[in-house]
Chain A
């Protein structure tokens, strides 16, 4: 019965790498910031992620990619979200992503990507800020 709508975030770990320390830390930090975090576990395909995002009606999809496959995975998830009419969902994330690639991905409509050593509070602030600019708050 709160007036303030909860922010729902899907924290996803696409691809085959199993390094989920970052995903778990950010999922816990998001929870501690009052978000409702849907965590889907490891080894997700883009189809699984988008399917979950739509069913769970999340506001944000945050992906952690440390495998170097970011140039394949982020655009693929973005394309599927758009295709299924879920282009209002913010796609953001983090991982080992070189700056040039970050710039290229931003041009494709992907939100901010956080590199190694990012403070979780930066990511939280970014999501809150983005959320406050949507009509649906």
Chain B
């Protein structure tokens, strides 16, 4: 009964993937997510053609109805005969390392549509929530040939800011219960949003939240995306400003004014308008040259992420480095060294080893 799970080699896996098999994609995602042998080669092969698909991110506080919005939006895109990939990210429990991934509950109506592929992911160890692995999964879906990839993330803390790194258009979903505009600003949501959606708009408090958001956005006068704080050592805002000078100078002044929309995901009210607005943002990204800017910034972050990860892997897989670590600990205990002298030894050894 326990037939062994097939562990396809890189080529077999790639073939299934390239043939457009859903199983092939599902397995490829697991290989990438688990960083199995050869996952970098796999990504390298499939990413050669560069980004093709439209990427829309959805984030916001828990309970805002993100999954419902994603399901409603997906249904609408299916009506336009788009093929869709959906990545839904939920937090890993810090206590057990396990996770409960419940976003599919909201997507049952679209769950058996052969034009939609849904994958739930746990944040695992990543600090920001949307791990490098998630971005890589989005890349896989991109090269698999979906017309559009929707990324839904748990909206807590740093996570919202990370969505920008995977999506071209970021939709921030709020509900009247999620607090006032000040809280949204504090949470860093103002900076990442290309579009605000106030869901459950029939609830009391919705008109007030819409008004507050509009006022707050007006004060910022379209500076969205510019002042994103440092992330993994890369200041996305700065990187983009630099690019702007060289590449997008003629678009200066034509800023994207972040709209505030209202929806009721359960009844579908406002979803058409949201779709239109996502398209408008897309046109703006292309026409202003912002898309190129964004993709460059994203590539920069990815290169750093990959280098960081590979350096860590090389370091801690090396016997010599682990030997130096033990030695360093001993030296510190004997009063002959500090963590800094030990780290310095390790770095020197590493650089020699790779040179």
- A interface vs B, CB < 8 Å? 1-2, 5-6, 8, 27-28, 30-41, 43-45, 47-48, 51-52, 54-57, 59, 84-88, 90, 109, 111, 130, 133-136
Task: Indicate whether B7 reaches chain A with its CB closer than 8 angstroms.
Answer: yes
Residues of B within 8 A of A28 (CB): 100
Centre residue among B4, B26, B98 by max chain A CB count within 10 A: B98
**Given A31-B93, A55-B117: A130 in contact with B2 (beta carbons within 8 A):** yes
Q: Are A135 and B93 in contact (CB under 8 A)?
A: no
Tell me the complex Cα distance, A59–B34, Å.
14
- Which residue of chain B lies nearest to A40 when distances are taken between CB atoms in the complex? B104
* Contact (Cβ within 8 A) B98 A34: yes
Rank and list the top 7 A-B pairs by shortest CB-CB distance, nearest first: A41-B105, A31-B98, A88-B5, A57-B26, A136-B5, A34-B98, A34-B97
For the complex with contacts A6-B98, A36-B99, 6 further pairs of A-B residues with Cβ separation under 8 Å are A48-B111, A55-B22, A56-B119, A56-B120, A86-B23, A135-B5
Question: CA separation between A109 and B95, bound complex, in Å?
Answer: 35
Q: Are B125 and A2 in contact (CB under 8 A)?
A: yes
Is B96 a contact of A32 with CB atoms below 8 Å?
A: yes
Check A87/B26 contact, CB under 8 A, given A28-B100, A32-B98, A33-B98.
no
Query: Which residues on B sit within 8 Å (CB–CB) of A38?
Result: 101, 104, 120
Which residue of chain A has the shortest Cβ distance to B102 in the bound complex?
A39
Query: B35 on the interface (CB 8 Å rule)?
Result: yes
B49 at the interface (CB under 8 A from A): no
**Least CB separation from B99: chain A residue:** A36
A135 CB to closest chain B CB (Å) equals 5
CA of A46 to CA of B112 in the docked complex: distance in angstroms? 10
- Chain B residue nearest in CB terms to A30: B98
- Pick from B118, B122, B124: contact of A55, CB below 8 A: B118
The contact sample of 22 A-B pairs, CB cut-off 8 A, is A1-B125, A1-B309, A6-B98, A27-B100, A32-B98, A34-B96, A36-B92, A36-B122, A37-B98, A37-B99, A44-B108, A48-B112, A51-B111, A51-B112, A52-B104, A55-B119, A56-B119, A57-B26, A84-B23, A88-B5, A88-B6, A109-B1
**Closest approach, in angstroms, between the C-beta of B91 and any C-beta of chain A?**
11
B4 and A88 within 8 A (CB): yes
Per-position binary interface string of chain B over residues 66-101, scored 1 when its CB falls under 8 Å from any chain A CB and 0 otherwise: 000000000000000000000000001101111111
Q: Which residue of the partner chain A has the closest CB to B101?
A: A38
Chain B residues with Cβ below 8 Å from A51 are 111-112
Give Cα A30 to B108, complex, Å.
22
Q: What string of 1s and 0s marks CB contacts (under 8 Å) between B4-37 and chain A?
A: 1111000000000000001100110110001100
A47 with B34: in contact, given A2-B125, A54-B26, A88-B3 (CB under 8 Å)?
no
Picked from B2, B34, B100, B119, the residue with its CB within 8 Å of the CB of A90 is B2
Give the chain B neighbours of A56 by CB distance below 8 A.
26, 118-120
Find B99's partner among A31, A40, A57, A59 (CB 8 Å cutoff). A31
**B273 close to chain A: CB less than 8 A:** no
Q: Please, which residues of chain B bring their CB within 8 A of the CB of A45?
A: 112
* Chain B residues within 8 Å of A85, by CB: 23
Verify if B232 is at the interface (C-beta below 8 Å from A). Answer: no
User: Provided the pairs A90-B2, A134-B2 are in contact, do residues A32 and B125 lie with their beta carbons within 8 angstroms?
Assistant: no
Cβ distance B100 to chain A, nearest Cβ, rounded Å: 5
Residue of A39, A54, A84 near B100 (CB, 8 A) is A39
